[in-house]
Structure 1
Amino acid sequence: MSNDKSAGDSQPAANIQNEDKEIPTWHSAWARSVETPEELWAEIGFLSFSLGIETKFVWRGLPSAQYEVKSALARKLAASGVVPTEENLRFNEVRAIQAAREWGLGHSQYGYASDLHMLALMQHHGIPTRLIDVTYNPLTALWFACSDESLIDEPAVLIGMAVSDVPVIETVPFLPKQTWGGMEDPLGFDYSYALEKSAANQMPFLVQPVVRDARMTAQEGLFITASVPEQSAATPMWGFPYKGNWLLLSLVREMKEMDVDIQGSRWPSFGMLGLIIPPEVKKVILPILENSFNRSHRTMYPDLSGFAGQNFNYERAAN
């Protein structure tokens, strides 16, 4: 994941009034609250085991339930007065990649990095991109949801996404593409083609880093992204194609509660379910994650910049 310690390309979401409380509008449709650590654990187990042993999941933790999932590049453009359309996102990420290459980044004795690998590196070092950090490990995402001390008194959200049929694009192609597009643009073809397919199919795609440093390995991290549709809709993830059934996992959860048999060993459709974690549960879960499951700032950021971010205290030597 990136240098953002809340693991969040996130920002406050639109709110509605509900029982004298303000909650984000998208919660009522696709998220459910948990009241105890045991209930949270049971919900993670439901998503992990009830949809078939071949169903693939990725996870993301938001330290505040007031956040929505929105890429850093979209936020950056909006803050600059630029509407974050697909055209504007693509124009600015191409400019950023070109500027990074002119800076001298993205090449070594082994050759030149692909555009997608450049974007993964930029995201990893806190440069705004459209990539959104996710992880294969729910415990890692849960730690990111609970570990921000500045937001410890706010509800968090653990998001599980079923991605069995979501395409996976590697940041370093295994073999060069023997196509006209691949020959004309060998460094950028894989990414531009994935965006075209995303626009046509109205589905996101996963970006799998091939060259992984210590932090990426520890976090079991990868990215999810999509081509921004021309018309936005009220989805849990801003800028994602809205053809996907965002309510799918919520409906499946209701079927499970009614003892409806869920057949099959693999859930094919893209869908997601958010688990809203109250502050009192966050405070109980965090030490368990750190002591029983070895999730901490040291293990999630096992590099020099991670150590530097802990603000090491310097003291006077004892006389």
Structure 2
Amino acid sequence: MGGGTTNDIVATDWLTLQEVLGEHAWNERIGRYRSPYVFRGLSNVDYSLEASITRFVGDTGQWELEGHLLRNFLKYARQEIDIPDSPYYRLAIAQHHGLPTRLLDWTYSPAIATFFATGGRADTDGVIWAVDYVRAHEQLPAFLRESLERLDTDMFDADLLDDVTRQLLDQYTDEMGRSPTAGVLEMFDMRDAIAAFAAEQPDDYVVFFEPPAIDQRIVNQAALFSSQSNPTVAMDTWLEGHPELYRRIVVPAERKAEFRDRLDQLNFNRRTLFPGLDGIADWLTAYYTPNSK
């Protein structure tokens, strides 16, 4: 979605950035500042909201590779970690470690999104996507909306999505002529049940959910994921049909260094967002890099 949109706001200075990112945070129903927005920062304003599996498959049409990637990841990953018998835990772990999946990373924190938007090339504008997940979930099929309403919440987590998916599996088992089974076969049964359910819906939809706290990086980055019913379509293309759900805050190239320094002073940097020795080394390298001017 290059070239800008009518939903774009340019953060010409730090104060403007804070004002824009903090808009609509007041929640009248609970009397607290709880923004309905989730954020994703990209270092290049022309980058698409395209899931990694979409880029991986490309124009080959070989979407069956999605299942093979995950199945074999689980086979080899069990040597390293104990993976719960849960499809959304598995997806979250695979995404977290770089496997191509249909998930996109988001954060509740506008500051963390700004950190990622201010990376990359110093001569390229960055962008922060802000999506109203509460209103996005109003676009969900009734079956999914009702599961949120029963728990009086606006956000899914991995456990709730597991429960909903297993209900779908029960619903579609007879149609697929299969019985629920454990392990890998169940994973593929669930995939087929989700695909059958999505195919019956008149419109594509996006689900946001909180991943399990599988390591400190997910916790520190206030992370969550989105999953699309139709991964063949980039999420920014889907959002074009729902302009009321999002805004894009453009970070001008000439402001990137300033905004990074301000974030560092607020303790948003690679040391805090990427716990461990690698994060410390990256932070120190950036902190002491000589100014070219």
The normalised TM-score by structure 1 is 0.66
Structure 1 residues without counterparts, runs of 5 or longer: 1-12, 14-23, 249-270, 313-319
SS at match of 2:250: strand
| 1:39 and 2:12 are equivalent in the alignment | no
How far, CA to CA, are the matches of 1:44 and 1:51 in structure 2?
Answer: 18
How far, CA to CA, are the matches of 2:39 and 2:132 in structure 1?
Answer: 9
Q: Which residue number corresponds to residue 209 of structure 1? A: 211
Greater per-residue helix proportion: 2
How far, CA to CA, are the matches of 1:160 and 1:137 in structure 2?
Answer: 10
What's the RMSD between the two structures over aligned residues?
Answer: 3.4
How far, CA to CA, are the matches of 1:306 and 1:210 in structure 2?
Answer: 22
Q: Which residue number corresponds to residue 298 of structure 1? A: 271
**Retained in 1: the 8 A contact 2:208–2:224?**
yes
Q: Which amino acid aligns with 1:152?
A: A
SS at match of 1:283: helix
**CA 1:128–1:308 in structure 2 vs 1: closer, same or farther (change >3 Å)?**
farther
Structural mapping, 1:78-93, within 5 Å? 78=58, 81-83=59-61, 88-89=62-63, 91-93=64-66
| 1:145 and 2:117 are equivalent in the alignment | yes
Q: Which residue number corresponds to residue 184 of structure 1? A: 180
Cα deviation code 1:204-254 (max 9, x no counterpart): 001321243100000010111202278x5xx7625x476x51x21xxxxxx
SS at match of 2:131: strand
SS at match of 1:237: helix
Matched residues, number: 250
**CA 1:241–1:274 in structure 2 vs 1: closer, same or farther (change >3 Å)?**
closer
**Retained in 2: the 8 A contact 1:215–1:303?**
no
Structural mapping, 1:210-249, within 5 Å? 210-228=212-230, 237-238=236-237, 240=238, 244-245=241-242, 247-248=243-244
Q: Which residue number corresponds to residue 116 of structure 1? A: 88
Structure 2 residues without counterparts, runs of 5 or longer: 138-143, 145-154, 174-178, 286-293
**Retained in 1: the 8 A contact 2:27–2:34?**
no
| 1:273 and 2:247 are equivalent in the alignment | yes
Q: Which residue number corresponds to residue 125 of structure 2? A: 155
**CA 1:191–1:285 in structure 2 vs 1: closer, same or farther (change >3 Å)?**
farther
How far, CA to CA, are the matches of 1:37 and 1:310 in structure 2?
Answer: 22
The normalised TM-score by structure 2 is 0.71
**Retained in 2: the 8 A contact 1:172–1:209?**
no
